[in-house]
Homo-oligomer: A and B are copies of this chain.
Amino acid sequence: MSTEAETLPRGGALPVSDYLSQLIAVIRAEDTHGSWEGKPDAEILADFIVTREERREIPIICDPDPDLLWRVERFYDAVALLLERRTGAQAAQMSKITHEGFGRIVLISGRLVVLSRHVRDIHRFGFETFAKLADTGEAMTRDAAEMIARFPETARA
């Protein structure tokens, strides 16, 4: 509608978000040789953006790409680390994803499943905008924190 939208970069503006900061930190932590030091944050997160048009064009018949599975893991790592900063609870990630891209991802803290997501079309994992990425990560972290508040003893077991 506005001309502003048209001039914004792919993925839109990068919002201020605890979740995005955490995700950026998770990814930059893997840059042991410092080769991404000059890269702006929006570029670090660029591959998390998948527009509606791109989504439609992604085939779902091949094995999911290792880079994509790497991004999915980093996405949930960031949820786990932000959760730890907010609640003190450490959570480990487990996933079971078939070659067809269906499966389940969980975060486990103590004996508690703090987050559980059934996924499908993992090949098309991505977000239309950075704002959407931030909101999704933030909402998952909130859900996980609520689960810990509900079953604190199970999380400590």
Binds B, one of A28-36, A42-50, A103-111: A103-111
Does A154 sit within 8 A of B, measured CB to CB? yes
Q: Which residues of B contact A110 (CB under 8 A)?
A: 113
Does A151 sit within 8 A of B, measured CB to CB? yes
Does A96 sit within 8 A of B, measured CB to CB? yes
The verdict on A104 contacting B94 (CB below 8 Å), with A154-B154, A157-B151 known, is yes
In the complex, besides A92-B104, A110-B113, 14 extra interface pairs with C-beta distance below 8 angstroms are A94-B94, A94-B96, A94-B104, A95-B96, A106-B108, A111-B116, A111-B147, A111-B151, A111-B154, A112-B154, A113-B113, A150-B157, A151-B153, A151-B157
Q: Which residues of B contact A95 (CB under 8 A)?
A: 94, 96
